[in-house]
Amino acid sequence: MLLAATLIFFSSCRVEHKIKEPESIRVGTLADARMLLPLFASDSASADISSLIFNGLTKYDRNINLTGDLAESWEIKKGGREIIFHLRKGVLWHDGEEFTSRDVLFTYRAVTDPKSPTPYSGIYGPVERVESIDKYTVRVTYKEPFAPALESWGMGILPAHLLEGKDLAKSELNRYPVGTGPYRLKRWITGQRIELERFEDYFEGRPNIKKYIARIIPDISTMFLELKFGGIDYMGLTPAQYKLKAETGYFRERFQRFRYPAFGYTYLGFNLLDERFRDTRVRKAIAYAIDREKIIKGVLLGYGRPCTGPFPPDSWAYNKNIKGYPYDPQKALELLKEAGWLKDKDGLLKKDGRAFKFTVLVNQGNSQRLMAAQIIKEDLKKIGIEMDIKVLEWQTLLHQFIDKKLFEAVIMGWALSRDPDIYDIWHSSKTREGEFNFISYSNPEVDHLLLQGRTTLDINKRKKIYHRIHEILHEEQPTVFLYVPDALPVIHKRFKGIEPSPIGIWHNFIHWYVQ
């Protein structure tokens, strides 16, 4: 009886689960979205959904070249001080209204309105004015040349006919959006799932995949089980899952695996309003005290690279001359001593009778960041710093702690645009609630260089500017730059037409099909 039961159990594990909706894709995500209008979709969970519902005027193709999206073409005039966008005709919003230049003008005004609590307020740079030449033509005039100009118009365009005269931050369209994109919202069950259905009248042609369903599963291990037993079709694996489980015959039979460097990085960020972290010597000491190689080998299992600054190695703005901080606890102690932190008889660092103790925040479900935090905790303990770890749900972490600057330190990551303009992350003017410089970094030289980098069109001159920014941020360590992880997605084999490229695998999603 025992043998028979065992055979039944193992054979049942091999059963191919019947897929209820084979022409739909179910994606696992750790966090729920918050707001879906593009100017407020500042977290990855919101941005992923918003990008399927809305289009910008421009977008990147598979080879990281800017191409038209809602704009059919454009002309650049007056040495880069003027762009004339020729819009596609016949593009429909999901409610059947036609997209026109009115929507472009409205979006520009909405994003740059000081009353709009958006982190993207500086995205359009030194725009002097935006004008509608006619229903399908828009002229953008700049005060000075703006290098990321074309990329900046990749911001999702808003429907003027539904939002004019409304308080955008309170608009119901954040919850029930109407876009021009390939998918439209069908259902959103908070904390459980967001269901999109294809837009039959999409201007690039009807998508092949009928539905895109994001299932919110805050625990990565639970998500993996859902993948294994047919609850989802796609997820980004942890290094351990990718190396130890996804290589088994069972997974090779059912799933396609991909690996490519993420265009971004993971970091330990400090609240620079905290007097302890205002001292550059303290931040550099922590950088020396962290064994990054241990994190890359032990947490990433080699699926990643060290990070030395605000650009990933694949960026043309990356400064190859910058070397990372080596693991050097003795150097860390020397810097801390210079800063007035001395060890007591119990081996704890103290200054003015106060022990060096702080809490780092990590988002729920991200096992890599949690394990990295545990290694950092042990590294810092060796030099006399006590670090506690607090795990929070993603939206709670962002909006109750990060936005309000109620944190001491945090482990997070930046997913970056292909243009190296990092003004919104590092400029000292971008520290309001909800903006991206939540660590409150301020450096006049960096501010100047960030503005210079935006208004310089010569790529060789821009390289020098961003190389200098890289050098300064590496020297000052406002965040400890930890690692650039590899993206490790897997997807069910029934999905065909996937074309891996330098920009990832989702660039041609509307052309995927099921076989």
Q: What is the pLDDT of residues 346-391, one digit of tens each?
A: 999 999 999 999 999 999 999 999 999 999 999 999 999 999 999 9
Strand partners, 512: none
Cα separation, 490 vs 259, whole angstroms: 9
Full DSSP string of 68-118: ESSEEEEEEEGGGTEEEEEEPSS-B-TTSPBP-HHHHHHHHHHHH-TTS--
Map residue 285 onto helix, strand or coil: helix
Q: What is the pLDDT of residue 248?
A: 79
Q: What is the pLDDT of residue 15?
A: 42
Q: What is the pLDDT of residue 149?
A: 97
Region 264-486: CATH code = 3.10.105.10
Q: What is the pLDDT of residue 334?
A: 98
- How would you classify the pairing of strands 211-216 and 24-29? parallel
Alpha carbon separation from 339 to 268, 291, 443, 473 (Å, rounded): 20, 22, 20, 20
Region 55-161: CATH code = 3.90.76.10
Q: What is the pLDDT of residue 17?
A: 58
- How would you classify the pairing of strands 211-216 and 479-487? unpaired
Among residues 172, 171, 359, 153, the alpha carbon closest in space to that of 269 is found at 359
> Any idea where the domains of the chain sit in the sequence?
20-36+181-259+488-514, 55-161, 264-486
Architecture of domain 20-36+181-259+488-514: 3-Layer(aba) Sandwich (3.40)
Evaluate if pTM is beyond 0.85: yes
Residue numbers of the chain with a pLDDT score lower than 50? 1-15
